[in-house]
Structure 1
Amino acid sequence: MALLNEVKSELASIETDLSPAKMAQAATMMRFGGGLRPVDNKAVIRAQFDSLEATEWLRKIVSQFFQREAKVTRISRQTPNGIVQRYDFLVDRGATALALQTGLLDRRMHIVKGLPSDIIDGNIAQIKAAWRGAFLARGMISDPGKASYLEIICPSHETVIALQAAAHRLGITAQARMVRSSERITLRDSDSIERMLMLMGAPRSAREWTGKRTDGEARGKANRLANFDDANMRRSAKAAAEATQKVRQAFEILGDDIPENLKAAGDLRLEHTDASLEELGRLADPPITKDAIAGRIRRLLQLAAKVERTQSDQQSD
């Protein structure tokens, strides 16, 4: 829970001058937090959040960007785990106009079941903002050391599809699943979670999450290495260490005269000395296959060997 609060605090503090991105984040927060609904025979936009900073961000944007007044009310609720605080966000004047402005209503005055097409078909900044808004509204993340997941509770099947499509545009595979009566979009791959946190705009939280997870994995790896039947892991670790040393030597030989794609592959090998080739491929930007990353590292070493032979021949002459 502490990490979740830190992530949302970091995301809510993002300042951007890109109006389409602000609109995408605000619209997604309102859609996932509650949305347009009838109350006492009039339309209002009502949403509820667990982060005061996120709620205040939305209130500020609605006021400054859309010129609408929003009311924020704190609500205390008793749960089996104790009292929890929620923050009620309400726009009761001009809610229909605001819904049209943000795309929550289409031009035929129908409520959009997923996310506005202007967001899903928008630029990458809008896609990142949509995921940021959805996470601020209904996002959850595992604490380091536990089974990895990043999850968003979705208000409809259409919003699940919309977030999946948005994640795909970011190069990340997100899974849909049903938990009791709620539909959710979930990331379970640790590298994908770290990447999504970075893309949403929470690099500090991503580093903290990854660091603590890595510490836990390192302890687990040490325990496994103590077993006699873990020879495969030792062989893999030895191969990765040897490859790292070869890449380091190749960089020393080639200096700055290295093709960019080969340099990027070598940098990944040096930065992630214990990672498998498959993991290195997922860490590449954009992600590539295990065979592709292996091929680039192989060509880097071959290039260094060729240059070294040439230098040796020149010296002998």
Structure 2
Amino acid sequence: MALLDEVKSELSQIDSELPAASQAQATAMIRFGGGLRLVQRQILVQAHFDSLEAAQWLQNAIRNLYGHEALLSPIERPTPTGTIRRYQVLVERGGAALALQTGLLDRRKHVVMGLPNEIVNGNIAQIKSAWRGAFLAHGDISDPGKASYLEIVCPTHEAAMSLVASAHRLGITARPRQVRSSERVTLKDADAIERMLILMGAPRSAREWTGKRSDGEARGKANRLANFDDANMRRSAKAAAEACEKVRHAFDLLGDEIPENLRAAGQLRLDHPDSSLEELGRLADPQITKDAVAGRIRRLLQLSDKTEKARAREAR
């Protein structure tokens, strides 16, 4: 089961003992899952979900909390990547009454485009439940190992602002953003995502997400270090090969005119092309420091370069 499915399954199992909290969740699920429709002067309440368990939760809540019957039906839609199945919860009879009961229709019969003030300004249990309902309706979370995000697609700008304000009351910073024509509210901080999952009621999924994310980061770090080491080895090998070529050229150019200590250092480099300067110093007889090895090879190459330039001037 994908992580997103696991999160929604865990959240769908929650039945709050506080009616106000359950009502906040139901209201958010309706608002973010669909909302109200006017058909032939009749208000219909509908919401769509990608989770059957979430749809069943809302169907039961509408019956038990508000006394209305809701029809639950699967809807299949073909796409280029395959058929997508979603689940619709629809209230036809009593839709206007349900809209008033949930607060999505105010006393003046105006549609509330965000979440009702009674929820946004309600107690913390209502705030948590509203976020849970919004996530069940239209939430998404990143797979471990990828860039971290928890995101909810919002039907209106007002709905997005309601979520941002509610998250603030939970001590979490959520940011609204617009992607093409859709409004979204996003968390990107990994610690904030873990905390929000726990507050919504998915501690098991939070532990799994955090654990897999940590494993992914560890693997990513190991891969980066391996790549770094590999790049360092390639650079070192290239530098050693170039140094050997320069030493050979110096030997050919200078012949017997090379001081013995410089010749010995150059010969060590030719005999041990893959060794580090520190290793060459230990191989010298007597042993010398890596700085001494580097200095002698450098003076050898400088002597070669100086001699070559002098001979070039004489040739002119």
Paired residue secondary structure (2:17): coil
Structure 1 residue 223: deviation in Å?
3.9
| Structure 1 residues 206-285: aligned runs within 5 Å | 206-225=206-225
Paired residue secondary structure (2:119): helix
The equivalent of 1:14 in structure 2 is 14
AA at the equivalent of 1:34: G
The equivalent of 1:259 in structure 2 is none
The equivalent of 1:196 in structure 2 is 196
The equivalent of 2:173 in structure 1 is 173
AA at the equivalent of 1:13: Q
Q: Equivalent pairs: percent with the same residue? A: 67
The equivalent of 2:239 in structure 1 is none
Q: Are 2:86 and 1:70 equivalent residues in the alignment?
A: no
Q: Are 2:31 and 1:28 equivalent residues in the alignment?
A: no
The equivalent of 1:282 in structure 2 is none
Q: Are 2:181 and 1:186 equivalent residues in the alignment?
A: no
Structure 1 residue 226: deviation in Å?
5.5
The equivalent of 2:147 in structure 1 is 147
Distance in 2, Cα, partners of 1:226 & 1:75: 48
The equivalent of 2:295 in structure 1 is none
The equivalent of 2:121 in structure 1 is 121
The equivalent of 2:104 in structure 1 is 104
AA at the equivalent of 1:142: S
Distance in 2, Cα, partners of 1:224 & 1:112: 50
CA offset digits 1:199-248 (Å, max 9, x no partner): 0000111111110000011122334456879xxxxxxxxxxxxxxxxxxx
AA at the equivalent of 1:159: A
Paired residue secondary structure (1:130): helix
**Alpha-carbon contact 2:6-2:205 (below 8 Å) kept:** yes
The equivalent of 1:281 in structure 2 is none
Distance in 2, Cα, partners of 1:80 & 1:193: 32
Alpha carbon RMSD of aligned pairs, Å? 1.4
Distance in 2, Cα, partners of 1:81 & 1:44: 31
Distance in 2, Cα, partners of 1:12 & 1:228: 45
AA at the equivalent of 2:221: K
The equivalent of 2:282 in structure 1 is none
CA offset digits 1:39-85 (Å, max 9, x no partner): 23311101111111000000001101110000001011111221111
Distance in 2, Cα, partners of 1:74 & 1:160: 27
Distance in 2, Cα, partners of 1:80 & 1:195: 36
Q: Are 2:143 and 1:133 equivalent residues in the alignment?
A: no
AA at the equivalent of 1:112: V
Q: Which of 17-26 and 31-40 deviates more?
A: 31-40
Inter-CA distance 228–60: structure 2 relative to 1 (3 Å threshold): closer
AA at the equivalent of 1:27: T
AA at the equivalent of 2:41: N
Unaligned segments of structure 2, at least 5 residues: 230-316
Paired residue secondary structure (2:75): strand
AA at the equivalent of 1:114: G
Distance in 2, Cα, partners of 1:183 & 1:65: 30
AA at the equivalent of 1:86: R
AA at the equivalent of 1:125: A
Distance in 2, Cα, partners of 1:228 & 1:140: 34
The equivalent of 2:95 in structure 1 is 95
The equivalent of 1:280 in structure 2 is none
The equivalent of 2:84 in structure 1 is 84
Q: Which has the larger radius of gyration?
A: 2
CA offset digits 1:115-135 (Å, max 9, x no partner): 000000000000000000000
CA offset digits 1:14-58 (Å, max 9, x no partner): 121100000000001001111111123311101111111000000
Distance in 1, Cα, partners of 2:179 & 2:39: 29
Unaligned segments of structure 1, at least 5 residues: 230-317
